[in-house]
Amino acid sequence: MLWKKRKKRTGEAARRAAAVLGKGQFWLKNMAVMAAVTVCGAAALRAHRSWMEEKAAQQELAASVIRFHVLADSDRQRDQQVKLEVRDALLERMEKLLEGAESLETARKRLGDNLETLREEAETVVREAGSSVPVNVELTREDFPVRTYSRYRFPAGEYETLQVTLGSGEGHNWWCLIFPSLCFRDSLHPVLSEDGERKLKYVLSDETYDRILQKEKVSIGFLWF
């Protein structure tokens, strides 16, 4: 009889211990789940905040700059060379055209008023190179992927663009900022003008300028994609 009572007490103690252990394990599992949810939530919040900051930077940039985009007819060596010759001719013409243009509105008007002149300039270069492809020059808006240009990283998005299309425009292209002018022609020795960088910093907020400015040295390659 005494043995049965002891056995009963032992069984009850074991059940209580198992219940306590079960509650402890349940609590630990809940804590692990809560920790995982907290970590994931914090990561998602950081990602969302970063995305919002990137979007805001892109929108401010898009409202402050004009890009210059030259699309080659194809990737054949001849067509790529013609693209570069057109680029050089139009950069030289636009350097004079935009001289003294301190605002986006002024730059846009000067470019818009001279689209036909720029098209004729490009067409002359194309014809002198022995090509008969059509030439189109327009001030438009185009989507661009993320691009790094010298010390600056430009977020993906839609930008106002002076776009030059040679023939089908299916070849590798070339781009830069025409306003403020951050264009350089020598891809092997790229040097941005102090004036262009000063203007870019002037038209952007400190937050956006700091965001696109590369803090570390980046390698420079041909601006083709």
The pLDDT value given to residue 67? 95
Contacts of 161 (CB under 8 A, 6+ apart): 66, 67, 68, 69, 139, 140, 141, 142
Residues of the chain with pLDDT under 70: 1-51, 184-192, 215-225
Tens digits of residue pLDDT in 102-122: 899 999 999 999 999 999 999
Query: How far is Cα 16 from Cα 146, in angstroms, rounded to an integer?
Result: 62
Q: How far is CA 19 from CA 25, 80, 102, in A?
A: 10, 77, 77
Whole-angstrom distance, CA of residue 5 vs CA of residue 2: 5
Residue found by looking up tokens 């400015």 in the block: 213
Q: pTM of the full predicted structure? A: 0.71
Contacting residues for 42 by C-beta, under 8 A, at least 6 apart:
none
Per-domain residue ranges for the chain?
1-62, 65-212
**Two tokens at 15?**
């059940």
pLDDT of residue 83: 97
What local confidence, expressed as pLDDT, does residue 198 receive? 86
pLDDT in tens, 5-16: 455 555 565 566
What pLDDT score was predicted for residue 218? 44
